[in-house]
Amino acid sequence: MSRVMVLALSEASPELVQQFCDAGVMPNLSRLMKQGLSGHTRYSIPYLLTPQMWATILTGRRAGSHGVFDYWQRQDGGKFLEVHGSDVKGPKLWDVLASNDLPSGWVNVPMTYPPPMIPGFALSGQDAPGAHPSISHPRELFQELTSSLGRYHHKDIFPGGQDKATYGELLPHETVWQKSLLEKLVYRDDWRFLFAYNSGSAFAQHYFWKDMEEKGSVTEKVAEKTFAAADVLIGSLMNALEPTDTLFVISECGAGPIKAGVRLQNWLEQNGFLARTEGCKGPSATARLLTSIRTNAQRYLPRSLFYYANAMPFKQWVLRRIAHDHIDWSRTRAYHRGKGEGNIYINLAGREQHGIVRPEEYEPLRDELITALRKLTDPETGESAVIDVHRREALFGDQGVEMAPDLVIEWRDARYMPAETLSADQEIFSERVREFMTWPTSGSHRPEGLFVAAGPNIRPGKLEKPVELVDLAPTWLHALGCPVPASMNGSPRVDLFQQVQSPAADPAELIAQT
């Protein structure tokens, strides 16, 4: 009985992985690449956001169909709410597997909260509020794991409020902990498809990319140690699999160095699209207080209480209050919101809570924004930081995009990201410090991720054409011999597999082919 296992090393850069393989840091993955097939994944939309990419992976459908566009997504009336797996529309991969009588296991995968009630098991990923029995299916699995492993590590790997050097030591240790977790789960007999996600690679690249170039720094080796720990995890999984099993190691996107953070709200204000309240001299006292409370809560609150703190409606109110600080909606035509990599919303009358842009002004305003944003220039290089600005329907289609940003910025070489911190500084370009962080981000996303596959039916060699994220779920179904439902937009990449002859083939034809 063949099985399929997928391990996602979040946002792992193929170039960095190859560098570590060549240096002997990742011998297990290097061996897997030599035995099997290696290449890239690719997300063709220049909007590399975790929830959107993972909703695409989990459904085999594009964003206009699954309906997820950002971490914090605009709802009717202009309110923004944090997205969870329950916001993903339509059947998911685990539903298709269950309909084919195939049990599956899901470990820490984004957009899986609440956990699916399926044959098999599930432990929800980062969209869950925190460690709690409610993130587990069956519910008793949580107790079983904590009894043997101790406290369940769920959001421990998130950096908010932590000291940089201490956090750098935490990343590889958390990967070691996940290895212990997966060693408990991989030997269960209630799965034919197992999907595990490790976020250490993503955080190591985001927060320590520049450190790799700072020789002698105490954090120079954080990324290397984190990827080395991931390689040990890969080796453990390889040892657990049967000869008939197939293993995929992927990342949803890649990574590379960031050039600068961009204060989009400041740019919108300086160009007359957004207005702040009179006398605004930076963040309000309320916003500063709420930010301080949030930062200290992330640093000092016991991990056992994270679930309750994150599940409270108060958190949603705090984040909305900070994000909308000092905005004068009566004079604001467009704004940036969410954690998007370049999303612009129109303050449209009849749609937004305080909308002022009349419907007939909507398209002319988008044209005006597109023209202005294309001229957004990095003062250090003198060149435009923006390749293009896309209307939402051009990226996601005409249907199902009501909650999508009205415009999406495509940054040059993906080397820019919006800044998230509140600041009285009116400079547009700066170091990118994420909200609740104490040091700058130095890595950003890239469209091409890692793809490695090995198994009895996988052809060895190099993959010439990247595997689109929308094609991953259909490909895994194909590997399990399952039909691909018509609801999926993607198609199986049959070129990854060996050409298997039908048992009914003419023997003479086989001899001739040989």
pLDDT digits (tens, 9 = 90+) for 247-295: 999 999 999 999 999 999 999 999 999 998 876 666 666 655 555 556 6
pLDDT of residue 313: 57
Residue that has been written with the tokens 């002997």 in this structure:
24
Q: Above pLDDT 90, what percent of the chain?
A: 74
pLDDT at 360 over 90: yes
pTM summary value: 0.91
pLDDT at 499 over 90: no
pLDDT tens digits for range 383-430: 999 999 999 999 999 889 999 999 999 999 999 999 876 565 678 999
pLDDT of residue 510: 25
pLDDT of residue 159: 73
Cα distance between residue 336 and residue 282, in whole Å: 17
Residue that has been written with the tokens 């605009």 in this structure:
74
The DSSP bridge pattern shows strands 407-411 and 343-346 to be antiparallel
Residue that has been written with the tokens 């997300």 in this structure:
43
Among the residue ranges 74-78, 113-117, 299-303, the one predicted with the least confidence is 299-303
Q: How far is CA 95 from the centre of its chain?
A: 21
3-class state of residue 249 by DSSP: strand
pLDDT at 128 over 70: yes
**Beta carbons within 10 angstroms of residue 156's beta carbon:** 15
pLDDT of residue 412: 96
* Amino acid (1-letter code) at residue 73: Q
Q: Rg of the Cα trace of the chain?
A: 23
Element (H, E) at 144: helix 139-149
104 touches 193 (CB < 8 A): yes
Among the residue ranges 70-74, 453-457, 471-475, 497-501, the one predicted with the least confidence is 497-501
Q: Cis omega before residue 91 (within 30°)?
A: no
17 touches 448 (CB < 8 A): no
Q: How far is CA 193 from the centre of its chain?
A: 21
Strand partners, 334: 346
115 touches 122 (CB < 8 A): yes
pLDDT at 186 over 90: yes
Cα distance between residue 443 and residue 431, in whole Å: 11
pLDDT at 103 over 80: yes
pLDDT of residue 446: 97
CATH of domain 4-257+445-496: 3.40.720.10
260 touches 430 (CB < 8 A): yes
pLDDT of residue 309: 59
Task: Report the chain's mean pLDDT, rounded to a whole number.
Answer: 89
* Amino acid (1-letter code) at residue 221: K
- On the CB side of 322, how many CA atoms lie within 13 Å of its CA? 21
Mean pLDDT for the stretch of residues 90-99: 98
pLDDT at 189 over 90: yes
pLDDT of residue 157: 85
Q: How far is CA 3 from the centre of its chain?
A: 25
pLDDT band, residue 504 (cuts 50/70/90): very low
CATH 3.40.720.10 positions along the chain are 4-257+445-496
pLDDT of residue 514: 25
pLDDT tens digits for range 36-59: 999 999 999 999 999 999 999 999
pLDDT tens digits for range 437-486: 778 899 999 999 999 999 999 999 999 999 999 999 999 999 999 999 99
pLDDT of residue 435: 65
Q: Above pLDDT 70, what percent of the chain?
A: 85
C-alpha dihedral sign at 309, 158, 172, 37 = positive
Q: Which of 253, 323, 338, 264 has the alpha carbon at shortest distance from 291?
A: 323
Mean pLDDT for the stretch of residues 149-161: 85
265 touches 423 (CB < 8 A): no
pLDDT at 211 over 80: yes
pLDDT of residue 447: 97
